[in-house]
């Protein structure tokens, strides 16, 4: 089998494709012959050595990748509810950049027969992390009532687009923010009620115009660039949900500027619990890669998401596909800040 191995942090040259023995599934595991690998900006952070959970849980060398789709290739002892050749998507905790993965059964999901003719494996690989992140943010942290007004940064991206869709599914009014004009229509296609193009509009002036009484919830993965203003535009009661810090790094660079990182860390807001209490606002934060201790919850949420997908209530994001061998190009695209939806690597049989 082939897989991407990063032996030490650095630029795109660290993405080495190597031949390794095909893993044998252990008891309770499923081996998947991978045909599509979903990618995300977290994979770039792993390569740069900036993703804490990969250092805590894997160390070096590391193979990135949280989401794959393919067909069941082999079954470990005790797995009797899947068959060889079944189309599945799987959610490994790292290790997805490979032609074969062995994954615990509870992290493997059969693609429903109702979707088998309409959902490609490439689309399936683009689904899990974006929608799991959005679901966790909306339904386990925010608990929407259906009358909220939400602001979603990066609304044309994988997670941002999922946040827009789930917000609309919950009955909320959603204002999306994008960083370039070519992303506006993508955010609208996800269901955003209004889209702010910050390349042409004053972000916060337009945000105030769209919600004069402030926002019930703001989802922010930008970090230092917008966190302070995001909190100031949350109403009472209101919630700021944080799930990333993208602006700590320069777009288009394949390795960090340590000076910029230090400066961004210094300027990142520190939230005063007394002030939050007196202003009746909440700050919530999470990292999906730490959620694997609750596989029961993972099963429940994925079942609901696949059901919604089958009913047409949500849809997969637009994807750009690249051959597995062009993994460095995929990372360049992710780091450019110009992509919409997801970038997916395709693995030949």
pLDDT of residue 195: 98
pLDDT for 92: 95
Q: Who wins on pLDDT, 247 or 24?
A: 24
What pLDDT does residue 291 have? 80
Q: What residue segments make up the domains of the chain, in order of their start?
A: 2-127+316-346, 129-288
- Tens-digit pLDDT profile for residues 193-214: 999 999 999 999 999 999 999 9
Helix 327-336, helix 41-48: angle, nearest 10: 110
Say what the pTM is: 0.96
Q: Residue 241, CB half-sphere, CA atoms under 13 Å: how many?
A: 26
| pLDDT value of residue 58 | 87
Q: pLDDT above 90 covers what percent of the chain?
A: 88
Q: How far apart are CA 132 and CA 130, in angstroms?
A: 6
Phi, psi angle pair for 37, to nearest 5°: -125, 120
Confidence of residue 170 (pLDDT cuts 50, 70, 90): very high
Residues 223-265: pLDDT tens digits?
999 999 999 999 999 999 999 998 888 888 888 888 888 999 9
Residue 130 dihedral angles phi and psi, to the nearest 5°: -65, -50
| Per-residue pLDDT reduced to its tens digit, 63-117 | 999 999 999 999 999 999 999 999 999 999 899 999 999 999 999 999 998 897 8
CATH of domain 129-288: 3.40.50.720
Residue 293 predicted with pLDDT over 90 = no
Which one, of 1, 45, 44, lies nearest residue 23 by Cα? 1
Is 136's pLDDT higher than 90?
Answer: yes
**C-alpha to C-alpha distance for 19 and 257, rounded to whole angstroms:** 32
Q: pLDDT tens across 313-349, in order?
A: 999 999 999 999 999 999 999 999 899 999 999 999 8
With 90 as the cut, is the pLDDT of residue 45 above it?
Answer: yes
pLDDT of the residue at 223: 92
Contact 156, 317 (CB under 8 A): no
CB atoms within 10 A of CB 230: 24
> Per the structure block, which two tokens stand in for 349?
């049989």
pLDDT for 43 equals: 96
Q: Are 150 and 143 in contact (CB under 8 A)?
A: no
Give the residue from 233, 232, 230 showing the smallest Cα distance to 221: 230
Topology (CATH level 3) of domain 2-127+316-346: Quinone Oxidoreductase; Chain A, domain 1 (3.90.180)
Q: What pLDDT shows up at residue 57?
A: 84
Q: What integer is the mean pLDDT of 26-44?
A: 97
């Amino acid at each position: 089998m082939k897989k991407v191995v990063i032996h030490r942090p650095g630029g795109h040259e660290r993405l080495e494709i190597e031949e390794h023995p095909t893993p044998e599934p252990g008891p309770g595991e499923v081996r998947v012959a991978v045909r599509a690998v979903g990618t995300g900006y977290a994979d770039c952070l792993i390569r740069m050595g900036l993703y804490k959970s990969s250092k805590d849980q894997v160390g070096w060398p590391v193979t990135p990748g949280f989401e794959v789709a393919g067909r069941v290739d082999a079954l470990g002892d005790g797995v009797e509810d899947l068959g060889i050749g079944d189309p599945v998507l799987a959610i490994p905790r790292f290790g997805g950049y490979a032609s074969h993965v062995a994954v615990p059964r509870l992290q493997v999901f059969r693609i429903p027969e109702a979707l088998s003719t309409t959902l490609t494996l490439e689309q399936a690989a683009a689904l899990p992390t974006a929608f799991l992140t959005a679901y966790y943010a909306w339904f386990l942290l925010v608990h929407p009532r259906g009358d909220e007004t939400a602001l979603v940064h990066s609304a044309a991206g994988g997670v941002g687009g999922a946040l827009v869709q789930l917000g609309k599914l919950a009955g909320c009014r959603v204002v999306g923010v994008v960083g370039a004009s070519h992303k506006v229509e993508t955010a609208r296609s996800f269901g955003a009620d209004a889209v702010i193009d910050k390349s042409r509009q004053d972000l916060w002036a337009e945000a105030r115009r769209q919600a004069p009484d402030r926002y019930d919830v703001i989802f922010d993965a930008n970090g230092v660039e917008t966190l302070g203003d995001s909190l100031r535009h949350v109403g009472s009661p209101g919630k700021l949900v944080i799930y990333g810090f993208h602006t700590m790094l320069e777009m288009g660079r394949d390795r960090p500027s340590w000076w910029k990182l230090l400066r961004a860390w210094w300027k990142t807001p520190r939230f005063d619990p007394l002030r939050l209490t007196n202003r009746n606002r909440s700050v919530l934060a999470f990292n999906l890669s730490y959620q694997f201790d609750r596989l029961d919850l993972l099963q429940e949420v994925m079942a609901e998401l696949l059901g919604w997908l089958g009913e047409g209530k949500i849809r997969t994001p637009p994807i750009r596909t690249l051959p597995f061998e062009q993994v460095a190009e995929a990372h360049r695209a992710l780091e450019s800040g110009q992509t919409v939806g997801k970038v997916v690597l395709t693995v030949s049989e």
